[in-house]
Copies of this chain bind each other. A is one copy, B any other.
Amino acid sequence: MITLASDFGSPYPAAMKGVLLRHTDARLVDVSQELPRQDVRAAAFWLRETLPYFPPAVHLVVVDPGVGTDRAALVCRAGEHLLVAPDNGVLRPVARVLARTTGGGSGDASAQPQFFRVDESRFRPTPDGPAPFDRGQSSTFHGRDVFAPVAGVVHDVGVDSLLGEGRLTRPDSVVDLELPTATVESDVAVGEVLVVDDFGNVVTNVPGSFLEGHERVAVGDETVPVGETFASVGPGEALATVGSHGFVELDVNRGRGDDRFGLAPRDAVRLEAA
């Protein structure tokens, strides 16, 4: 199984699927082609929230504002999962979760992901037969020309074989990325907006436990009820709840929390339990 995640929209991912299917008969599963555009941190958040629900798989991730520069292409082994992505930190948060929960005989909390650098010159989109176009590797679409071929080969032959051939090598270092954490002191939490989802729900980085035992919370100047479900308030009314990711979410029942609270990704958020 190979999953695909990108910020490409449509139809670029089709070229990646075509390339993958030239390499392998693996099942392909779309995670998202609509990740927040060129926002590595937001992509890292969504990958951490989705990929760990999958059984062991190869995960192909292309959110790549540095495409064509000298940033490396990476393969990551995290527990029973393999991941392929540019070296910009996008894999770090999810790889930690996958290593911890499926690594070292499943559930060794100290297991760490391993990263490998790709020798891009030794992978090509069309392994068999003639290439469809007389083009070299593009500078702007490594999803098609580098990452998809690598994912297809990694799926079929595995990391160890590629290490033996020198098509993967151990890098000196890889880009790290940690999602920001909120500061919580008794009844006040100071954090920020991680993402806004398609419903307009504002996902903060304040742990959901902050809301425990409280009936209302102040968000900036406004105080809203704490609810367990959207429907705990009337249609069009705002609330704070614990989202499916375990963080405090600022929502409007059957409406958009981002419009109501005037909040966007990376905005600072101050919550005070009331």
Contact = CB atoms under 8 A, between A and B. Distances in A.
A230 B135 contact: no
Contacts of A49: 11, 15
A244 B11 contact: no
Given A65-B231, A68-B229, A249-B140, A132 B101 contact: yes
Interface in A51-82: 51-55, 65-69
7 contacts: A1-B21, A11-B31, A18-B55, A22-B53, A53-B125, A68-B231, A101-B129
A68 B101 CA distance: 27
A229 B30 contact: no
Contacts of A197: 9, 12
Given A66-B231, A229-B67, A29 B28 contact: yes
A250 interface: no
Contacts of A102: 129-130
A146 to B, nearest CB: 12
A176 interface: no
A168 interface: no
A138 interface: yes
The listed residue with most B CB atoms (<10 A of its CB), out of A3, A51, A66, A244, is A244
A121 interface: no
A11 B35 contact: yes
Contacts of A185: none
Interface residues of A, number: 73
A161 interface: no
Interface in A130-166: 130-133, 135, 138-141, 144-145
Given A15-B53, A53-B125, A229 B10 contact: no
A99 B67 CA distance: 32
A67 B224 CA distance: 20
| Most B Cβ at <10 Å: residue of A53, A97, A106, A242 | A53
A12 B35 CA distance: 11
Nearest to A49: B15
Contact of A230 (B51, B140, B242): B140
Contacts of A52: 18, 132-133
A243 B139 CA distance: 8
Interface in A13-60: 14-15, 17-19, 21-22, 28-35, 37-38, 46, 49-55
Contact of A32 (B14, B22, B131, B199): B14
